[in-house]
Structure 1
Amino acid sequence: ERCLVSLATESHRRRVLRFRSLQDAELAAQGESQTPESLSSTCVSTPEVFKINFVFPNGDKYDGDCTRTSSGVFERNGIGIHTTPNGTVYTGSWKDDKMNGFGRLEHFSGAVYEGHFKDNMFHGLGTYTFPTGAKYTGNFNENRVEGEGQYTDIQGLEWCGNFHFTAAPGLRLKLHM
C-alpha cells in the first residue's frame, strides 16, 4: 500500500509527498515540524506483482504473476500457467486466486475449453471441444451452455440455436451449399 500525503508545515506551504505507509508520512511530518498545521492522506492499494514458480503440496504447479494480500498470502493475479500432475493445464488470466478473464483449459482427457472464465467457471463466450472432436461454441453461464450457440458434431454437421444446459429445443441444421 502506498500513500500520497498532503503536508503543510510552518516551513513549507503545501507539498505532496509519496510514502510507503501512513506511519512513514507521520514520521516525516514530525521531522519537518513538531506540529504540522495539517496532514491529510489518501492510501491507494497498488499491489506489487511478483513472478513466481510454485509447487503446491498436492503436486500442482503454477508459473506466473501473483500479488501479496494484506495478510501476506500470495494469490494468483495476472497471467499464469497452472498444471496438475494428471496433465490438466490452464493458461490464462487470474484474479483473486481464481481463473478469471480469458484462458484455455486443457483437460487430460483431451477436452479443451477456450474462452472466458469467472470464479473458476466457464462464463461468457467460449468454445468447448470434446475429446471426440465435437465442439460447442457460444455462451456459457457458470459452467453450463446457456444461450445462443453452435454445436458441431463428429461428422462435421453444424447445429445452431438456443441452448439451455442439456436441452436445445429448436436447433437448426446449418446447410453449406
Structure 2
Amino acid sequence: MPAEKKDAKKKEDAGSTVLTGIYIFPNGDKYEGEYIQNADSLERCGVGIHTSVEGSVYDGMWEGDKMNGKGKLTHPSGASYEGDFVNNQFKGNGKYIFPNGSVYEGQFQENRLEGKGQFTDTQGQIWTGTFRYKAAPGLRFKLNLD
C-alpha cells in the first residue's frame, strides 16, 4: 500500500487500533485520514481524503479499503458525485454534476443513473422520472411558473 507515512496518530476502535496519518503511494497518490495497520498492509477506514496524481479527489468514508458510505468524488474535468458509495461505486442516492454544468439528483446503481431522479439541463430546465442508465422513458418536464 502506501510507500511513505507521516504524522500518525492513534485511537482505539472495536479492538483495532485506528491511526490517522498522511500516506504517499508509490504512484504519487496521496491519502490523508484514518486507517488500520494490518500485518503486511494498511487498510483505509473511517474518514479520509484520497487525491490521485491525475487530480481526482475522494473525500468521505472508507471501509475495507474502499469508498463506502457518504462521500464526494471530484474529477479534474469538473464533474463530481456526492452521495452514497458501496464498494467504490455510486449506489443509493446522490447528486452528479456533469462537466457541462447539468445536474442529476436521484438514485444510482453500479455507477449508473438508475431509478427515480431529476435532471436539470444546461438551460435550467428540469426533467423528472425514472432513469435506466442511458435511457429515461416517460420523463416529465417540470414546469415552473414563478
Give the TM-score normalised by structure 1: 0.73
Q: 2:35 aligns with which of 55, 66, 82?
A: 66
Report 1:71-110 matches (<5 A).
Answer: 71-110=39-78
Q: Distance in 1 between matches of 2:108 and 2:23?
A: 30
1:135 is the counterpart of 2:120: no
The number of equivalent residue pairs is 132
1:13 is matched with none
Q: Distance in 1 between matches of 2:128 and 2:32?
A: 38
RMSD: 0.9
Q: 1:151 aligns with which of 119, 125, 129?
A: 119
Residue 68 of structure 1, CA deviation? 2.3
1:112 is the counterpart of 2:118: no
Q: Distance in 1 between matches of 2:52 and 2:41?
A: 21
Q: Distance in 2 between matches of 1:72 and 1:123?
A: 31
Higher gyration radius (CA): 1
1:55 is the counterpart of 2:48: no
Q: Distance in 1 between matches of 2:58 and 2:79?
A: 12
| 1:2-43 CA distance string (max 9 Å, x none) | xxxxxxxxxxxxxxxxxxxxxxxxxxxxxxxxxxxxxxxxxx
Give the TM-score normalised by structure 2: 0.88
Q: Normalized per residue, which structure has more helix?
A: 1
> Which runs of structure 1 show a deviation greater than 3 angstroms over 4 or more consecutive aligned residues?
none
Q: Percent identity?
A: 52
Q: Distance in 2 between matches of 1:80 and 1:161?
A: 34
Q: Distance in 2 between matches of 1:87 and 1:147?
A: 30
Residue 108 of structure 1, CA deviation? 0.6
| 1:84-110 CA distance string (max 9 Å, x none) | 112111000000100000000000110
| 1:23-82 CA distance string (max 9 Å, x none) | xxxxxxxxxxxxxxxxxxxxxx6211100100001110000000123x342100000000
Q: Distance in 2 between matches of 1:68 and 1:116?
A: 26
